[in-house]
């Protein structure tokens, strides 16, 4: 299947590596705002065509599945452009800057009967199903709580600092731990306790959030763009716990059952971890689906809606939001 890449940053190079490693993919076209950059990227990564504007790629009827690798401030506009030209879309995380944008894109895709999904690679990784299997077995007893943290010193980066680019730690980093909770905490949220520290420009620099679910479980998330924090998640039960280092791209996790030696489960990547979301997209397209079962539209909306709620609690509103 033909796959094209729109916007050529670091994440695009990683996806290009994946596409070249999978025999079922045909790297077709790339697009950048600079023609010379697109030409160099295409030559380096084996794509057939290079375009010096996003509009040119969208207008190519042979572009196939388009992977949007832009900063998230541009996801809505670029995904809409691709859908309007009739292309299926796999769009990087966070899917959009807010829930209203996501709802509009999903409605447009439904109207045109087109596939679209969020490239939140965590949702597609092999370890996810194994953790779910263990939880369903009752091996760690009744779930009591879960926690996830992610921090990286990125406050100097323009896209993180500027409100007009939907900056802040929450959307870029916090989306991962909140996605982790959404994967395993099945009950609806009953209440939220949250605090954030804002930058001088008015975006969130760091935050801590505690979610209380209707079934009595708790979820805790910490994220920061000021400092390194462990990329680490845990699920705690009445009989044990599951610990997932580097949970956003985990190839292993450890099961601790009280009174027993820990068991480690390993799921080494075939390529770099992006292969699972691409194959899931291919399978969904082959089955005539408009979304991936691993990343349902409802779950994308759930996480983005929660982040909208948190920003509202913190008094953060982006300039383009009315």
The 10s digit of each residue's pLDDT in 109-131 is 999 999 999 999 999 999 999 99
The mean per-residue pLDDT over the stretch 82-108 comes to 98
The 10s digit of each residue's pLDDT in 21-37 is 999 999 999 999 999 99
Give the pLDDT band of residue 11 (cuts 50, 70, 90): very high
What is the 3-class SS of the chain, one letter each residue? CEEEEECCCHHHHHHHHHHHHCCCCEEEEEECCCHHHHHHHHHHHCCCEEECCHHHHHHCCCCCEEEECCCHHHHHHHHHHHHHCCCCEEEECCCCCCHHHHHHHHHHHHHHCCCEEEECHHHHCHHHHHHHHHHHHCCCCCEEEEEEEEECCCCCCHHHHCHHHCCCHHHHHHHHHHHHHHHHCCCCEEEEEEEEEECCCCCEEEEEEEEEECCCCEEEEEEECCCCEEEEEEEEECCEEEEEECHHHCCEEEEEECCCCCEEEECCCCCCCCHHHHHHHHHHHHCCCCCECCECHHHHHHHHHHHHHHHHHHCCCCCCCC
Handedness of CA 87, 92, 95, 96 (dihedral sign): negative
What is the CATH number that goes with domain 126-266+302-314? 3.30.360.10
Quote the pLDDT of residue 37: 97
User: Which residues are CB-neighbours of 108 under 8 A, at least 6 positions away?
Assistant: 80, 83, 84, 114
Burial of 21-30, coded b for 16+ CB within 10 Å and e otherwise, reads ebeebebbbb
The 10s digit of each residue's pLDDT in 302-312 is 999 999 999 99
Which residue's entry shows tokens 């009591």?
Answer: 144
The two three-digit tokens of residue 205, written as one number: 């620099």
Judge contact between 65 and 88, C-beta under 8 A.
Answer: yes
Rounded to 5°, the CA angle 51-57-60 comes to 120
Does position 322 have pLDDT exceeding 90, yes or no?
no
Rounded-to-integer distance, Cα 235 and Cα 247, Å: 11
The 10s digit of each residue's pLDDT in 163-209 is 999 999 999 999 999 999 999 998 799 999 999 999 999 999 999 99
Rounded to 5°, the CA angle 162-167-169 comes to 135
Mean pLDDT, the chain, rounded, equals: 97
Quote the pLDDT of residue 283: 98
Quote the pLDDT of residue 186: 81
Q: What is the fold, at CATH topology level, of the domain defined by 2-117?
A: Rossmann fold (3.40.50)
Instruction: Residue 291: name the closest of 276, 301, 281 by CA.
Output: 281
User: Which residues are CB-neighbours of 125 under 8 A, at least 6 positions away?
Assistant: 249, 250, 267, 273, 276
Which residue's entry shows tokens 């399978």?
Answer: 283
Judge contact between 134 and 140, C-beta under 8 A.
Answer: yes
Strands 116-119 and 89-92: parallel
Which residue's entry shows tokens 């935050």?
Answer: 207
Q: Where in the chain is the domain with CATH 3.30.360.10?
A: 126-266+302-314
Judge contact between 269 and 126, C-beta under 8 A.
Answer: no
pTM above 0.85, yes or no: yes
Quote the pLDDT of residue 187: 78
Quote the pLDDT of residue 200: 97
Region of 150 (left: φ > 0; alpha: ψ -120 to 50; beta: rest) is beta
Q: Where in the chain is the domain with CATH 3.40.50.720?
A: 2-117
The two three-digit tokens of residue 172, written as one number: 């870029």
């Amino acid at each position: 299947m033909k796959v094209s890449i729109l916007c050529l940053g670091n994440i695009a190079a990683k996806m290009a590596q994946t596409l070249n490693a999978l025999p079922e993919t045909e790297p077709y076209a790339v697009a950048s705002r600079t023609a010379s950059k697109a030409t160099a990227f295409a030559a380096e990564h084996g794509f057939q065509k290079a375009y010096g504007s996003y509009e040119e790629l969208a207008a190519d009827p042979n572009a196939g599945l388009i992977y949007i690798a832009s900063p998230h401030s541009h996801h809505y506009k670029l995904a809409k452009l691709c859908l309007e030209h009739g292309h299926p879309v796999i769009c990087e995380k966070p899917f959009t800057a807010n829930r209203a944008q996501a709802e509009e894109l999903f409605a447009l895709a439904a109207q045109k009967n087109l596939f679209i999904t969020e490239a939140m690679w965590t949702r597609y990784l092999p370890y996810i199903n194994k953790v779910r299997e263990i939880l369903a077995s009752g091996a760690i007893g009744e779930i009591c709580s879960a926690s996830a943290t992610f921090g990286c010193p990125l406050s100097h980066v323009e896209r993180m600092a500027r409100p007009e680019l939907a900056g802040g730690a929450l959307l870029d980093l916090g989306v991962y731990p909140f996605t982790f909770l959404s994967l395993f905490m099945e009950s609806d949220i009953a209440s939220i306790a949250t605090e954030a520290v804002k930058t001088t420009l008015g975006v969130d620099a760091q935050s801590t959030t505690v979610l209380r679910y209707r079934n009595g479980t708790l979820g805790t998330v910490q994220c920061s763009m000021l400092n390194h924090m462990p990329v680490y998640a845990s699920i705690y039960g009445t009989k044990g716990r599951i610990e997932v280092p580097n949970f956003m791209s985990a190839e292993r996790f450890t099961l601790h059952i009280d009174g027993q030696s820990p068991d480690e489960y390993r799921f080494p990547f075939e390529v770099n971890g992006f292969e699972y979301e691409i194959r899931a997209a291919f399978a969904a397209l082959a089955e005539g689906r408009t979304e991936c079962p691993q990343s349902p539209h409802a779950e994308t909306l759930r996480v983005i809606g929660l982040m909208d709620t948190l920003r509202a609690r913190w008094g953060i509103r982006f300039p383009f939001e009315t």
